[in-house]
Amino acid sequence: MKELNRLQPSATEWTVDLNSDLGESFGHYVMGQDEAILHHVTSANIACGFHGGDHNVMRRTVRLAVEQGVALGAHPGLPDLLGFGRRSMAVEPEDVFNMTVYQVGALQSFAALEGKRLQHVKPHGALYNMAGKEPAVAQAIAEAVAAVDKGLILFGLAGSQLVKAGEKAGLRVAREVFADRTVQADGSLTPRNRPGACIEDPEQAVRRVVRMVKEGKVTAVDGTEVDIEADTVCVHGDDPRALAFAKGLRKGLEEQGIRVRRIGER
């Protein structure tokens, strides 16, 4: 297995990547505050047209990210524009493999137009959650990413099946945690339809993330202390509080001696 540079080499040098899901507008429908958020994150997960985004939005978002020196990542989702890719679907592993290849390949081409390469792939929404728990879905995604480019980094929820599948496929993996979401006792994200699923207080989010990075711990909704590894932290770009979260989180992390940088950057 290819290892990332470990992002917590010592108690005096803590580092983490800060990512956001972007490029999710579609046609005349505007989603998020992409241009502003790109000033505060180090990696961008760019929608590839299935759950959000379109060909024009994809190219524009790639250009904006390149201008800000933000790493490019593909954000493939289920083919569900109406549900924003957050509704589970009955899909076969072949479907998952091919839709992942299709979407990553599309964003790769837009990156190439700017003379850049993709850094990573992070599934979106329901596909991400399914891959976190279902080995067959996780394997299909990991194998698709490896087939497209074994140099790509696979982002997956810390401790999930997706991380395990990525390692098995010989990919570098980045263990992801969330600034604006709570977790269950097993480390999985609290479903959005349950009370307390989202964190609305930016200061609380900073405290939680600092602890995840420095101590490798997070408190679940039931009070359980969960072990966790944090290589990259996500702020959802479609949330109305996304800009405040991204800005406050970067400032808060740096004030706590945590360096925010792209995955693998020295």
Per-residue pLDDT of the chain (266 residues; tens, 9 = 90+): 344 434 444 445 899 999 999 999 999 999 989 999 999 999 999 999 999 999 999 999 999 999 999 999 999 999 999 999 999 999 999 999 999 999 999 999 999 999 999 999 999 999 999 999 999 999 999 999 999 999 999 999 999 999 999 999 999 999 999 888 898 998 888 988 888 888 888 888 899 999 999 999 999 989 999 999 999 999 876 677 778 888 889 999 999 999 999 987 75
175 phi and psi angles, rounded to 5 deg: -80, 120
216-224 contacts: CB < 8 A, separation 24 or more? 216/8, 218/177, 218/183, 220/182, 220/183, 220/184, 220/185, 220/187, 221/182, 221/183, 221/184, 221/185, 221/190, 221/196, 222/184, 222/185, 224/185
Q: What pTM was estimated for this model as a whole?
A: 0.91
How far from 127 is each of 67, 122, 137, 172, CA to CA, in Å? 29, 10, 8, 20
Domains and CATH numbers, the chain: 14-260 (3.20.20.370)
